[in-house]
Amino acid sequence: MCFQQSLMLIIYLVQFYMNDVLAYASHYTPEGIEAQLKKYRIVPDIMENATREDMEVEYQGNLMIQMGNFVSLNRTAFEPKIKWKVDPNFYYTVTLLDADYVNIMVLQKVQYQLWMILNIPGDNITAGELLTEYMGPNPEKDNLPYHRFVFVLWQHPFVHFRELRVRGGQLPIYRENFNAKKFTEKYEEDGLGEPYAVNFFRTCHPKEE
Ligand SMILES: *[C@@H]1O[C@H](CO)[C@@H](O)[C@H](O)[C@H]1NC(C)=O
Ligand SMILES: *[C@@H]1O[C@H](CO)[C@@H](O)[C@H](O)[C@H]1NC(C)=O
Ligand SMILES: *[C@@H]1O[C@H](CO)[C@@H](O)[C@H](O)[C@H]1NC(C)=O
């Protein structure tokens, strides 16, 4: 083999290896995702149809979120590491919602936004636009056995979102006015489409554990 051929071979092997390392492999089949989303009524509460993809969500101490596992509140105080199957032609927007938050003004369940990052290139969340600063789940002591906390990811072209920035420590009212289905509709013309990937966990007030 001449030098040039060897070089080509090395480049080929490195590319092959990199693809293998970087490509995200789903942890669930589409059927498995759909079954869990329906079991816990994420479908239809948060989204109309199940996504085909999952997201990998890892909290500190190697705590993996697994489509509805029960998690201790004290493990979720800091934002997790998240990953998903990336298409380099798109941007991604991710949110974490409490699907069982009750708005005491209207005594109704609303979706409470705990975290939101817009226009993420690939899965580099530090390069996205931080809309809502991360807040650890903090369900009220209520008569529910648990709250569902849902990570929803959209895949889309770059969008000029028209949303209010929410900082840590701001009043709950800033986080209460979110609805994943309405968000999808609001930006439909901008190419948002239905959610692309999802994951979720359950947790409750420590006194109810
Ligand atoms: C959900 O899936 C059904 C059946 O495939 C489809 O008709 C409907 O348009 C989908 N809903 C949304 C919001 O995409
Ligand atoms: C978190 O909560 C669980 C269950 O209440 C408890 O067993 C565990 O010791 C707590 N961990 C820390 C670090 O506080
Ligand atoms: C992620 O984005 C940050 C900020 O734009 C950049 O500094 C960093 O190099 C990016 N990381 C990767 C792995 O691309």
Query: Is residue 44 reached through a cis peptide bond, with omega within 30 degrees of 0 on the bond before it?
Result: yes
CA of 63 to the centre of ligand 2 (A): 13
pLDDT digits (tens, 9 = 90+) for 75-130: 999 999 999 999 999 999 999 999 999 888 888 889 999 999 999 999 999 999 99
State how far the Cα of 51 lies from the Cα of 43, in Å rounded to an integer: 10
Nearest to 208 by CA among 80, 70, 107: 70
Tens digits of per-residue pLDDT, 23-40?
A: 788 899 999 999 999 999
**SS3 assignment, position 76:** coil
95 neighbors 115 (Cβ within 8 angstroms): yes
How many A from CA of 127 to the centre of ligand 1? 32
Assess whether the C-beta atom of 124 lies below 6 angstroms from ligand 2.
no
pLDDT at 1: 56
Tell me the per-residue pLDDT of 143-196, one tens digit each, with 9 for 90 and over.
889 999 999 999 999 999 999 998 888 887 889 889 999 999 999 999 999 999
pLDDT (tens digit, 9 = 90+) per residue, 66-76?
999 999 999 99
Q: Which atom of ligand 2 is nearest to the CA of 206?
A: 5
Please say whether the dihedral angle defined by the alpha carbons of residues 190, 129, 199 and 180, taken in this order, is positive or negative: negative
Based on the number of CB atoms within 10 Å of its own CB, is 195 exposed (0-12), middle (13-18) or buried (19 or more)? buried
